[in-house]
Structure 1
Amino acid sequence: MEGEKINLSEKARLDYELVQKALMGDEKAFTRLLSRYKDAIYFMLLKMVNNRNDAEDLTLEAFGKAFKNLHQYSPTYAFSTWLFKIASNNCIDFLRRKKGTYVAIENNGDSGDNSEAVKLKSKEPNPEEKLIRQQKAILLHRIVRRLKPRYRTLVELRYFREFSYEEIAKELDIPLGTVKAQLFRAREMLFKLIENTEMRKED
């Protein structure tokens, strides 16, 4: 690709280089891309859904979908712009399934433009929704194996098998509050593992 001819910022050029490495199978490049944008994606989604658990779930889904379709990214625009669009659209689909209403989103890309709220009508079901489990597995598969068994089981049920919190509580015969608390801890551990991987790369 002729990415060098595209007028990208220094940050966007680094992202493009990481994308190229990731496409060649460099797992650390995937991790670094996630580390660079996970907080910004999370806080954007938190504004949209106003729920920490949902925002954390949707953050992982967004990166899973982006990494699954990384070959479709074009350097004619910043990777962050592409990623935020994926995250926003995925969240809109989530809210449509949950409420079936109009939702407001913010354009939080790093292009330097002022953020603006826009109204988007929820769309019809995306044919790619059936691939969400596979997409999330691509992101989490290797890292999840490093969790303690009880947390690994919770993550597998929630993200790979897509159980609801209530279904997990019934499956494991534990209180609903315990499921939510332990899943919150499991997500913290997942992000910490990702961050530690990134820190080791930079050493």
Structure 2
Amino acid sequence: MDRWPGDRGSRVLTASDTAALQQLARDELPGLYGLARHLAGPNEAEDLVQEALLRACESFGSLREHRAGARWLRVILTNVWRDRVRKETRTAREVPVDDVEAFSLYRVLVDEDPYPYSDTLHLDFLGAFTDGDVDTVLLRLPPRYRAPLVLRYVEGFATRQIAQLLELPLGTVLSQLHRGRKLFERAMWDYADECGFVARRDAARSV
């Protein structure tokens, strides 16, 4: 028998348990890194995944159906991240939440017209963002809005599942998703403006 992936007081696993968990981890590792990167950023992603796998080892007996292993690992990783967020004494730069309801990315793109003569204005705007840019924008959102967005639109969790995972009322999750989308749109525009992805109309007039 064995202990995997580390010895931190985890229960002793049978050989079949070890093989099953190792295979599950290998299969899901890319997806776990992606989730960790969206939630915590590239600098913390590897450490977050390692801690999640340690917790998975300790609680592997709670996994009743191995076919549910992918989602089970994502739940564990999200909980590891939530525990860390609770301990943080300061946050990284965040997009302001005031007056976010009044912001519309659609209207701003139409008004500013950053890609003159384009017939695919919104696609051109989105196409300027790399995966790394999207991660940077996500990290500007307060954690309470970032997590529901990532779980819903990246990982495909249903809203009721998100409510259970985050231990929140369903109405709160729906509200966070709505406000989170607004915040994400605002953060995308601000980031694009900072990085020079868009040529603003007022800047063009001053030339």
Task: Give the TM-score, by structure 1 length.
Answer: 0.39
Rg larger in structure: 2
